[in-house]
Amino acid sequence: RLVEGASRAMSMQYCRDHAGSKTWRWLRGLSIDMSYDFRRWRKHQKAFRNLMLWSPANIVAADNIRRLCFPDLAVIGGVSSLVCYYNRWIAHDPTQALEAANSFWQFGQLALPMECFSITTVALGLLVTFKTQSCYNRFDDARAQWGLIINESRALGSRILTRVPAPEGENDWKVQRAKRHALKLIQTFPHTLKYHLTEDGCNPHIVIREETPDAEIRVA
């Protein structure tokens, strides 16, 4: 089922945290682009592909929006709602104010001066721009290195098949077996590197928890 779904999908939902509930995994999940073939490139090059990104289904499925909404925007929205409720219903309510003039606790509005925002705006804008550019450069470099690994693996396999001689006689089967073994090693190198760089090779069907032994992870 995973192979059939991946063969038709443009991206795959992936979440490394398997300890939480389904809602938590859906909120914290990531969208991983699949390796594009000719069919996917044809679908990707449609004229209205940019407009389809703003459809309700794609907005809900976007991992960036989900990860921003919870917990970041949820916490900020909760704190802002509490401050607005306090300023509107408590600070302006005369029945809630203390009658004693010399009392330490006074019900005043919560507010920040504008200088705090005006001074930090330029620095915050430069920091966000730098972080965005550095993240994109790392992503672009990783995609380039992964493509280079795939191309070099194919080129090394073709050189082994064409340039390694195949002598006749009793050593022929040894050379053929060595060729097959070398090609298998080349084929497994990208998969081994993927599992080396990630915890579960970006496979959502592999459930890894804190109590999962290493032997079970290697078998999966």
Residue whose token pair is 């809630």: 96
Q: How far is CA 120 from CA 29, 113, 117, in A?
A: 32, 12, 5
Q: Is the pLDDT of residue 97 over 60?
A: no
Contact between 210 and 19 (Cβ < 8 Å): yes
pLDDT digits (tens, 9 = 90+) for 102-146: 444 455 677 777 877 788 888 888 888 888 888 888 888 988 888
Tens digits of per-residue pLDDT, 10-44? 777 777 666 667 777 777 777 777 766 667 777 77
Q: Which of 203, 186, 185 is nearest to 194 (CA)?
A: 203
Residue type, 149: I
HSE, side-chain direction, 13 A CA sphere, residue 189 = 17
Alpha-helical (H) ranges within the chain are: 2-8, 22-27, 38-44, 49-52, 56-61, 63-67, 74-85, 115-163, 172-197, 214-219
Q: What is the C-alpha to C-alpha distance for residues 9 and 26, in angstroms, rounded to an integer? A: 17
